[in-house]
Chain A
Amino acid sequence: MEAEKNLRKEISEKLKDETLRDALGRFSEAYPIARAKAYENAGDIEALRDALRQMKIDTVARIEEVADRFEAEATKRGAKVFRAKNGDDLKEYLVDLCRKNGVKKIVKSKSMAAEEIDLNPYLEAAGITATETDLGEWIVALAGQRPSHMVMPAIHLSRFQVAEYFSKELKEEIPPDIAFMVQAARKELREKVLQADMGISGANFGIAENGAIGLVTNEGNARMVTTLPRIHVVIIGYEKLIPTIKDAATILKVLPRSATAQLMTSYLTMIAGPTPAMVKRDGKWVEEKKELHIILLDNGRLRAAHDDKFKEIFQCVRCASCLNVCPVYTLIGGHVYGHIYAGGIGAILTAFFHGMKEFEKFQELCIGCRRCMTVCPGKIDIPGLIEELRIRNVKEKGLPFLLRQTFENIVSNRKLFHSLLRLASVGQKPFQSGKLIRHLPLFLAGLAKDRSLPAIAAEPLRDRIGKITKKIDKPDMRVAFFGGCTIDFVFPETGESVFKVLQDMNMEVLFPAGQSCCGKPVIAMGDVETTKKIARENIKALEEMNPDVIIAACPTCTESLRHYAELLKEDPEWGPKAETTANKIREFCSFVAEEYAKRGRLTKTAGGPKVTYHDSCHLKRVLGIDKEPRQLLEAAGCELVEMKDADKCCGMSGIFGVKYAELSMPILEQKINNIRDTGAEIAVCACSGCMVQLQGGLDKQLPGVRMKHVADILAERIEEK
């Protein structure tokens, strides 16, 4: 609870930090364009990402062998390799090394691993001065802060703030002029490098074939830090190891492009074994062989390497592109994530490097929109891994009492759940303003508080089935409609539209009354057992009707039902049934587009309203459906105007949108602004979760524009005919 309070306090501070908001806002606008441009001459991006992913998968599968080879080759060339189990191990080794060699002054070029284990304060306590030479790292160190971004550590600070820190450190008035400040830093830091006894660097990769380490930098500080002092210490995590020299090319094709939208950084440096250094002895320069120490850091990495799911984090090359597109990170920056690794990937790395307790605090900040997966060069399923961590956390510790009670006793008991929803539709009346009140089943979890969301309908879809079902004598197909809570109880009219569209194609539409929540809110919180219970009930209800196809008009429900096969695969009785259900489930838009095409109806027509389409995160990035809804809209005669960032999250994301309303609202506001700019009369989407959020936003901020599901538009077109 205490941790949650601190996190909320920090979030609210960051939301008020205009420098940060402004910098991140501008950056998130510029990044996707710059990245795309950087990849223009790189060939097939997908092939490059696949190559990186595969190379890393092959490496982690034999990580010990690769590490042994790396150590042997580096040792053969004269480096000393030390394997550190954790931060303490590393620090002791390093301080001992400093003592033996009379090292008092250290210069560092960027090492996230050193930050991870809080190296600097430890060195300081041992009487050793360590100076960061990367400009951003130095600024952050002077400010007494941590980096807020893996690649741009000081992105949260303005030139005025930097000038203040510089003036204080250099004891002279430094004007807030960027070029001047950079020169001042150059002068000050060069002096430090020239006087240092030891240079510490990180590494972007370590090559087993010849024991080389690689550094990808822009400022040139890494070249100085690894060249000038007589001792060079490399701190490298196991995940940075790669088998061959050629594998470095696989990383270099994507790392600079993804990290900073550069084709290549100013300097790529590879060092294999100690190289000569110039040392002043009795006032004379003499050439001596350097001492090269390589510290291979574990600190939770090997545990991840041997974990069937989490070995995936070895595919991370620390480009931070996942942060650059994250709707939450780009609002509040990296500091709220507590440790140095920010964003979704940061929450996962933190879980392994700092423990589950740390993960728990920040995991909710991942809204599962999967935008990161579209850019990650290693194609890491970041949201999937976070969900897996939640599941493990729940297995180990259980859910908070209230949530557990809600899931185990209410959501998984359809009759009780639905009667409560009906009660809610009555109970909400005194508080209802217009059509807006609260979302479900979140409201049952007692989590809705900060705003109004759509009302629970007076008559749910399940009570309207008799009225809307058309008798069809020789149906082309028997379709079971899985409504999901939101369509059933909040948007029953959309459910009616689905019936209309399908019946119009001579399909018999069935509504299995025994269906309940798809289970997504439950599994999202990590409660696997309750989800299984819910899945079994839904499968039973659906299969009793023996349909040809099962249709859901919500991507999350579609995904959940498809996931039943995996969820129940070890259950001998339910496994095969789940498989059948999973094979029958189809998402509404893609199914209808296919059927319309068969009937020659998927052609563009005119005369409809001007609309804009919002891509639901899960519809586009999990199910891969983005063309079909657009084709359907145009087939229905709509004039489709694309909005900016159509596929950027609306900020709902289930529980997140309610619990972190303060974060959800600015994300929604951007979306509403983009809708406004199109001049469309109707905002359309094909996800009931997004509809909840967008309707709430439009109602307050853009009342002239209506929110509709693709099914609604299609149904209206049928009525017109």
Chain B
Amino acid sequence: MNTIGEPWQRHFPTATSGAHLFPEFEMRAKAVSGEVFRVPDATAARETLIRLVDDVGAKKAVVVESPLQEAAGITEALRSRGVTVYTEPTDIAAHAETSDIGISGVEFGIAETGSVFQDGGAIATRLVTILPPLHVVFLPSANIVPGITEAFDIISQSFDRGYVGFITGPSRTADIERVLTIGVHGPSRFAIIAVDETPKGGEA
């Protein structure tokens, strides 16, 4: 948590939120061309990511770590696949623009809209989420709130300064003849890997 004043988890409405909302979240995210992969554990998460990497033939990746990624050993898996991985902010700044894939963690999802909430206070996070053509995020599948209102209940108690926001599907435009076109300035593909298992020794 780079910019949010106090841990947002403390304000997560556990009574009304959770994995039971995942199907709605998944449906909404897919409706806006998001790709959603719900997996049981770290191993499956790693395999899913590798499939995505193979799918786009990624050679170069920029990664901002998150507990789920660390638990799944994402960075090592990428490297052993022959992908060049950058994790340092200065390296990310130099290579995000030419990378095939950006990987980061997000805080929670919103069932009403299929959005994910991310703390983008760290410059590296914003670079990996916006510059490469494919953006993959890791999300604990239990971290789903019902709607925008509930999301703002959390945000209003934890957002003091910095750069936060929702990401809802890939970048899009309909500015020419109102024809929906995916992938303008931001990524043309947006994939969510949602993991059921909570990583050991820490919060997601």
A residues with CB within 8 A of B: 23, 26-27, 41-42, 77, 133-136, 139, 152-155, 157-159, 162, 178-179, 181-183, 185-186, 189-190, 193-194, 209-210, 212, 218-221, 223-224, 226-227, 244-246, 248-249, 252-253, 260, 262-273, 275-278, 284-287
**Minimum-distance CB pairs A-B, first 5:** A220-B186, A136-B175, A249-B152, A278-B93, A264-B113
With known contacts A246-B156, A263-B112, A276-B123, A135–B175 Cβ distance under 8 A: yes
* A158 surroundings in chain B (CB, below 8 A): 177
* B160 surroundings in chain A (CB, below 8 A): 210, 272
A284 touches B185 (CB 8 A): no
Q: Which residues of B (100-143) have their CB < 8 Å from a CB of A?
A: 110, 112-115, 120-123, 126-127, 129-131
A249 touches B151 (CB 8 A): yes
* Neighbour of B176 across the interface among A159, A220, A266, A285, CB < 8 A: A159
A182 touches B184 (CB 8 A): yes
* A264 surroundings in chain B (CB, below 8 A): 110, 113-115, 148, 166, 168
User: Can you report 17 residue pairs joining A to B where beta carbons are below 8 Å apart?
Assistant: A26-B178, A27-B178, A77-B161, A134-B175, A152-B178, A157-B176, A219-B172, A227-B130, A253-B149, A264-B148, A267-B168, A267-B171, A269-B120, A272-B160, A275-B162, A278-B89, A278-B123
B residues with CB within 8 A of A: 3, 28, 32, 89-90, 93-94, 97, 110, 112-115, 120-123, 126-127, 129-131, 148-149, 151-153, 155-156, 159-179, 181, 183-187
**How far is B187's CA from A710's CA once the two chains are assembled, in angstroms?**
58
* A262 surroundings in chain B (CB, below 8 A): 32, 168
* B120 surroundings in chain A (CB, below 8 A): 269
Number of A-B contacts (CB under 8 A): 185
B112 touches A275 (CB 8 A): no
**Knowing that A154-B175, A209-B156 are A-B contacts, what are 11 other residue pairs whose CB atoms are under 8 Å apart, sorted by A's residue number?**
A41-B112, A153-B175, A178-B177, A182-B183, A212-B161, A219-B173, A223-B129, A245-B152, A245-B156, A268-B166, A275-B121
With known contacts A152-B175, A162-B176, A287-B123, A219–B186 Cβ distance under 8 A: yes
With known contacts A178-B177, A266-B169, A219–B90 Cβ distance under 8 A: no
With known contacts A245-B159, A249-B149, A267-B168, A23–B28 Cβ distance under 8 A: no
With known contacts A219-B186, A267-B166, A268-B115, A249–B148 Cβ distance under 8 A: yes
* B170 surroundings in chain A (CB, below 8 A): 266
**How far is B175's CA from A249's CA once the two chains are assembled, in angstroms?**
26
Measured between C-beta atoms, what is the minimum distance from A524 to chain B in Å? 35
B167 touches A267 (CB 8 A): yes
**How far is B178's CA from A220's CA once the two chains are assembled, in angstroms?**
17
Measured between C-beta atoms, what is the minimum distance from A99 to chain B in Å? 27
* Neighbour of B161 across the interface among A183, A185, A219, A272, CB < 8 A: A272
* Neighbour of B181 across the interface among A182, A226, A246, A278, CB < 8 A: A182
* B184 surroundings in chain A (CB, below 8 A): 135, 182, 185-186, 218-221
**How far is B181's CA from A154's CA once the two chains are assembled, in angstroms?**
15
A135 touches B130 (CB 8 A): no
With known contacts A152-B174, A210-B161, A220–B185 Cβ distance under 8 A: yes
A139 touches B176 (CB 8 A): yes
B163 touches A270 (CB 8 A): yes
With known contacts A245-B155, A245-B159, A133–B185 Cβ distance under 8 A: yes
**How far is B160's CA from A100's CA once the two chains are assembled, in angstroms?**
30
- Report the nearest B residue to A140, measured CB to CB: B175
Among A41, A226, A249, A253, the most chain B Cβ lie within 10 Å of the Cβ of A249
A210 touches B159 (CB 8 A): yes
Measured between C-beta atoms, what is the minimum distance from A152 to chain B in Å? 7
- Report the nearest A residue to B126, measured CB to CB: A227
* A178 surroundings in chain B (CB, below 8 A): 176-177, 179, 181
A266 touches B149 (CB 8 A): no
B178 touches A272 (CB 8 A): no
B175 touches A186 (CB 8 A): no
* A153 surroundings in chain B (CB, below 8 A): 175
- Report the nearest B residue to A288, measured CB to CB: B123
**How far is B186's CA from A193's CA once the two chains are assembled, in angstroms?**
12
A266 touches B123 (CB 8 A): no
Measured between C-beta atoms, what is the minimum distance from B16 to chain A in Å? 15
With known contacts A162-B176, A252-B148, A220–B113 Cβ distance under 8 A: no
- Report the nearest A residue to B165, measured CB to CB: A269
A219 touches B171 (CB 8 A): yes
B185 touches A227 (CB 8 A): no
Measured between C-beta atoms, what is the minimum distance from A335 to chain B in Å? 17
A263 touches B114 (CB 8 A): yes
Measured between C-beta atoms, what is the minimum distance from B171 to chain A in Å? 4
**How far is B174's CA from A27's CA once the two chains are assembled, in angstroms?**
12
A190 touches B3 (CB 8 A): no
B159 touches A212 (CB 8 A): yes
* B113 surroundings in chain A (CB, below 8 A): 263-264
**How far is B179's CA from A48's CA once the two chains are assembled, in angstroms?**
29
- Report the nearest B residue to A191, measured CB to CB: B97
A179 touches B181 (CB 8 A): yes
B90 touches A285 (CB 8 A): yes
* A224 surroundings in chain B (CB, below 8 A): 130-131, 185-186
